[in-house]
Amino acid sequence: MDWIKVSSYEQMSEIAADIFTEQLAKKPDSVLGLATGGSPLGFYKEMVRRCQAEEISFARATTFNLDEYVGKGPGDATSYHEFMCRNLFRQIDLPETRHHLPNGLAEDLAAECVRYEKLIEASGGIDLQLLGIGVNGHIGFNEPGSRFDSRTQVIELTEATRKSNARYFEKEEGIPAKAITMGIETIMSARKIVLLAFGANKTDAVERLKSGAVTEEFPASVLHKHPHVTVIYGK
């Protein structure tokens, strides 16, 4: 695991953008795994800037997002789909047919998990996956206790996660109880992984990740078993 300590959120975003820029330069048809939340916002802003300045292009890339709330989808301002359109997709040259998120509105959620998993597989697999980390160590929405051999799945969100994501919703009742997320094994299948963790509220999670103990009770700890992980962190 490579650890890069930064002194600002902007520096973290810049370094992450450099890693993705290098990936796209090496392989323009890369399959990129994307994340939502506050951690990657600065990174997306920088990628948009580079794309609009024609320094990079997503024209041949494919993207897969980690997760989506059950009951949320296109057109809903609080869906991850909308988050991605607003902060990245609408501002870059990635064709609409090649960005993917799990469909939180699917009637048959189990079938949707299988469909998403197959779609990732058919793309040739994720070359570079971006991750944030939950205060309880979740990656994607794989909450503590998620099996390391899990594939895309429906997950019940913990109170801690619902609380920390409450800021994105007008009313507490509006926070979904479930989500579809790539499983831990799906994430681990990515060839390379970059994890972003910035701020005082992430210090404990980063320390626990650093400590090296690998346990399903702290999902991010599985990353110690992956050969190409870079953690960019600071406070």
- Mind telling me the catalytic residues? 67, 136, 138, 143
Question: Distance (Å, rounded) from C-alpha 193 to C-alpha 232?
Answer: 11
38 binds ligand GLP (CB under 6 A): yes
Q: Interface with ligand GLP includes 161 (CB under 6 A)?
A: yes
- CA gap 198, 234 in Å, rounded: 5
Instruction: Count the neighbouring beta carbons within 10 Å of the beta carbon of residue 225.
Output: 11
Residues 192-231 that bind ligand GLP (CB under 6 A): none
Is the Cβ of residue 103 or residue 161 nearer to ligand GLP in the bound state?
161
Of the listed pieces 21-29, 31-39, 95-103, 211-219, which binds ligand GLP according to CB under 6 A?
Answer: 31-39
Contacting residue, 33, 102, 104, 132, with ligand GLP by CB under 6 A? 132
Six-digit token string for 122: 């058919």
Residues numbered 56-95 forming contacts with ligand GLP, rule: CB under 6 A: 66-67
Is 42 near ligand GLP (CB under 6 A)? no
- Of 110, 132, 125, nearest in space to 197 by CA: 132
In degrees and rounded to multiples of 5, residue 159 shows phi and psi of: -60, -40
**Total residues at interface with ligand GLP (CB under 6 A):** 14
* Residue 43 touches ligand GLP, criterion: CB under 6 A: no
Nearer to ligand GLP, 127 or 143 (CB): 143
Contact with ligand GLP (CB under 6 A) among 42, 102, 104, 140: 140
Distance, CA of 53 to CA of 56 (rounded, Å):
8
CA torsion sign for 210, 211, 213, 218 is negative
CB-count burial class (<10 Å; 0-12, 13-18, 19+) for 36 = buried
The closest residue (CB) to ligand GLP is 132
Give strand pairing partners of 68. 180
Q: How many helices (H) and strands (E) does the chain have?
A: 7, 10
Nearer CB in complex with ligand GLP: 10/29: 10
Residue 141 CB, nearest approach to ligand GLP (Å): 5
Asked whether the beta carbons of 61 and 32 are under 8 A apart, the reply is yes
**Is residue 33 near ligand GLP by the rule CB under 6 A?**
no
Q: How many CB atoms lie within 10 A of CB 217?
A: 11
Residue 176 touching ligand GLP (CB under 6 A): no
Q: Rule CB under 6 A: say whether 125 interacts with ligand GLP.
A: no
Residues that bind ligand GLP (CB under 6 A): 35-39, 66-67, 132-134, 140-141, 161, 165
